[in-house]
Amino acid sequence: MHFNIPDTQDTIASIATPIGESGIGIVRISGKDALEIADEVFVSKDGFKPSDFKTYTVHYGWIIKDKEIIDEVILTVMRQPKSYTKEDVVEINCHGGIIAMRRVLDLVLAGGCRLSEPGEFTRRAFLNGRLDLTQAEAVLDIIRAKTDSALRVSMEQLRGVLSKTLNSLREILLEALSTIEANIDFPEEELGSVNLKQINEKLIKVKAGLSDILNSSRQGKIFREGIRAVICGSPNVGKSSLLNALLKEERSIVTAIAGTTRDTIEEIIDIRGIPVRLVDTAGIIEPRELVEKKAVERSKNAIKLADLVILIFDGSKRLSREDTFLIAKLKKKQGIAVINKIDLKPKIEIEKIKKRFSLVIEISAKKHKNINLLEDAIANLVYGGKINSSEPIMVSNLRHIEAIREAEKLIAAGANSLDNKLHLELVAEDIKSALGCIDKVLGRGFSEDLLDRIFNEFCIGK
């Protein structure tokens, strides 16, 4: 989807809270005419108008149309430049019903506002210099965070931890570039060996800094997007019971009838700070009719796309033909074997399973026994036991990762040219290109298409 380039001179407004029934709904206005438009629709208890109010003040009153009270509200004034958008901002806290909010918004729009585009408030915050592009993108990540860890990483990015690190590396590159260009412009003043060594040290330092950021990208991507874990197994081994045990609620129907699950069921849970998208699949069986055939096909496709497979067995029975087939099928997949129903008399040949899986967890999904051991195993498998979830500099955005990776390659090429005593103009070009990559992340150089792509992912009102 592409929308026209919004006019930043317009005053914009929209509902900033989800549509539905709630205690409070917010209509947000931003722009040069925000206070004037608020004057037309708001009557305060003390008789003063919003244009008379001091910044960062909250006022009780009513939204009025033709002497009719539309809603009883609280109005907040934030004057430029100390507001979210660095423009005059008015927020009207209405009752959270659809009709009340819609009528307030319609009045505001009739007063001279334009309905905002998706993400336009944050876009203005970026264009007006309140946020750089990494911070603006962090706003969306905060909204979409699925775990406390994901929220913490996004908040660090909003605070500018990534920006500060990149700006610091950028300054080092500019120092190196200025020294090189001084030598190119004034060749009669030879660049001493000490300065060459200093430039090389600067490039090595920048490359190490970029590498550190990239090394955190896997963790950051996990916190942002999570992992896809598929629960699979023969019919009636307890896949749905395991899903319910992990969710700690009855999400899937559980019966003694094999093949009750006829479709994949997905839920997101937080396991030790990791967003895990759990997929409960239909049992891999020889389908008896069309619906079962489609269910089995979906199960196979889910397994193919999985980051992690949890293969579950019925510990009270010997390995079936389907079990053996699945063990062979998942040979190349990262997986955990789960022996279910340990509350019953064991009959399964566990040694055969251990030959294929290094991780074997014995549980009772029905009695919620050892579920914590499975959660620990999932977390340890993802983290490798080495990831610190409180690491402040984490890059999770694919756009950032690609640009930083390219910058790292260019710096390595520049350092290599310096080591091989190639012409300094080649080194300078690599540094300039690397600076361009860093600027792309920070939003120092941007196109309207890039901004459209980023902010079109936002909801209207943010």
- Decide: 146 and 226 in contact? Cβ < 8 Å: yes
Residue 290: per-residue pLDDT: 46
pLDDT tens per residue, range 59-92: 999 999 988 999 999 999 999 999 999 999 999 9
Three-state SS across the chain? CCCCCCCCCCCEEEECCCCCCCCCEEEEEECCCHHHHHHHHEEECCCCCHHHCCCCEEEEEEEEECCEEEEEEEEEEECCCCCCCCCCEEEEEECCCHHHHHHHHHHHHHCCCEECCCCHHHHHHHHCCCCCHHHHHHHHHHHHCCCHHHHHHHHHHHHCHHHHHHHHHHHHHHHHHHHHHHHHHCCCCCCCHHHHHHHHHHHHHHHHHHHHHHHCHHHHHHHHHCEEEEEEECCCCCHHHHHHHHHCCCCCCCCCCCCCCCCCEEEEEEECCEEEEEEECCCCCCCCCHHHHHHHHHHHHHHHHCCEEEEEEECCCCCCHHHHHHHHHCCCCCEEEEEECCCCCCCCCHHHHHHHCCCEEECECCCCECHHHHHHHHHHHHHCCCCCCCCCCCCCCHHHHHHHHHHHHHHHHHHHHHHCCCCHHHHHHHHHHHHHHHHHHHCCCCCHHHHHHHHCCCCCCC
Residue 358: per-residue pLDDT: 85
Residue 298: per-residue pLDDT: 67
> Is the pLDDT higher at 460 or at 96?
96
Separation CA 214–CA 210 (nearest Å): 6
Segment 213-237 mean pLDDT: 79
Residue 258: per-residue pLDDT: 43
pLDDT tens per residue, range 312-327: 999 899 988 888 888 8
Residue 2: per-residue pLDDT: 44
| 261, pLDDT greater than 50 | no
Residue 390: per-residue pLDDT: 47
Average pLDDT, the chain: 83
Residue 264: per-residue pLDDT: 63
- Nearest residue to 259 (alpha-carbon basis) of 299, 318, 229, 315: 299
Residue with tokens 């300078």: 428
pLDDT confidence tier of residue 153, bands split at 50, 70 and 90: confident
Residue 352: per-residue pLDDT: 86
- Nearest residue to 279 (alpha-carbon basis) of 240, 237, 226, 230: 230
Separation CA 219–CA 235 (nearest Å): 35
Complete domains list, the chain, with CATH: 12-132 (3.30.1360.120), 138-216+394-443 (1.20.120.430), 226-383 (3.40.50.300)
| 209, pLDDT greater than 60 | yes
